[in-house]
């Protein structure tokens, strides 16, 4: 199955009610073993750091939706208006809105923590630190994107080739400029140094990730023949001492 990683910003977006259908699809695909969802400890730390603000913003969003619904009720006939206002009355009180927001955020967190969690290593931290110290991409513009680079490096080292799927890893992030070379549209080569090649796809929307995840390699037989030839050549080079 295809590996999917969500940047912290995507996890936070999933707390919104407007993403409910996408959230249901995401859970369903994981539960049906159609995708493997990977999380690492940096993502969890970022989530924990943003959790209180996420609940606060979600509570405010629920309040706005309640007020909009109350205004909409003015267009109903009196009987329907009374019934509609009764249905949404639970969101009238601030405490109820906070409770709804807290439960929603906790639901997302419980799911996240049920996924496979990968811990970053000291070697990975040193590798990214070296890039930052020497202002190598993605740190050439002095942007504070250390965590984004560390998350990606950590996952790239973990992921293996997922035959016969089109992609080994799909990474969903709202901030692709933190690790994507705008000139090539690909992940900076510096982040891929000394890694086994994998088929990586970056997207900015979870919906696109879920659409791409089940895709299989086109002309799989030809692809497999090519891989076998490459492996045979590699073994021959090892025998020759290359």
**85 CB-near residues (< 8 Å, 6+ apart):** 70, 73
Provide the pLDDT for residue 233: 73
Sheet harboring 200-203: ordered strands across? 116-118, 35-40, 2-6, 169-172, 200-203
The Cα 173–Cα 8 span in angstroms is 8
Residue 152 β-bridge partners = none
**Are 153 and 124 within 8 A, CB to CB?**
yes
Provide the pLDDT for residue 117: 96
Neighbours of 135 (CB within 10 A): 10
| Per-residue pLDDT tens listing for the chain (242 residues) | 899 999 999 999 999 988 999 999 999 999 999 999 999 999 999 999 999 999 999 999 999 999 998 898 888 888 888 998 898 998 889 999 999 999 999 999 999 999 999 999 999 999 999 999 999 999 988 778 899 999 999 999 999 877 778 899 999 998 888 888 888 888 999 999 988 888 899 999 999 999 999 887 766 566 666 667 767 777 777 777 65
Provide the pLDDT for residue 224: 67
Per DSSP, the residues of 14-33 read TTSGGGHHHHHHHHHHHHTT
The Cα 159–Cα 221 span in angstroms is 23
The Cα 221–Cα 226 span in angstroms is 9
**216 CB-near residues (< 8 Å, 6+ apart):** 164, 165, 166
Among 9, 7, 3, 2, residue whose Cα is nearest residue 38: 3
**Are 185 and 203 within 8 A, CB to CB?**
no
Provide the pLDDT for residue 142: 74
Which token pair is 113? 């923590």
Provide the pLDDT for residue 35: 95
Domains of the chain from N-terminus onward: 2-50+116-239 (3.40.50)
Q: Which residue has the tokens 């996890």?
A: 11
**Are 42 and 150 within 8 A, CB to CB?**
yes
The Cα 218–Cα 239 span in angstroms is 32
For residue 84, the SS3 value is helix
Provide the pLDDT for residue 178: 85
């Amino acid at each position: 199955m295809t590996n999917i990683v969500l940047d912290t910003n995507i996890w936070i977006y999933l707390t919104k009610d407007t993403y409910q259908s996408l959230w249901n699809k995401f859970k369903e695909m994981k539960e049906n073993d159609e995708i493997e969802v990977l999380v690492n400890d940096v993502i969890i730390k970022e989530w924990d750091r943003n959790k209180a603000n996420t609940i606060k913003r979600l509570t405010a969003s629920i309040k706005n939706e309640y007020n909009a619904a109350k205004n909409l009720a003015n267009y109903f006939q009196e009987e329907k208006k009374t019934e509609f206002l009764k249905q949404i009355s639970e969101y009238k009180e601030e405490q109820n809105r906070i409770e709804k927001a807290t439960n929603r955020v906790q639901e997302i967190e419980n799911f996240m923590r049920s996924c496979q969690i990968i811990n970053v290593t000291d070697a990975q931290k040193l590798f990214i630190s070296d890039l930052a110290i020497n202002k190598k991409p993605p740190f050439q513009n002095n942007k504070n994107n250390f965590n984004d680079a560390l998350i990606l490096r950590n996952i790239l080292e973990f992921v293996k080739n997922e035959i016969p799927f089109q992609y080994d890893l799909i990474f969903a992030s709202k901030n692709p400029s933190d690790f994507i070379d705008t000139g090539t549209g690909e992940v900076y080569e510096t982040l891929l140094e000394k890694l086994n090649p994998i088929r990586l796809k970056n997207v900015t929307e979870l919906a696109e990730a879920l659409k791409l995840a089940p895709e299989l390699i086109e002309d799989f037989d030809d692809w497999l023949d090519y891989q076998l030839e490459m492996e045979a050549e590699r073994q021959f080079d090892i025998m020759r001492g290359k």
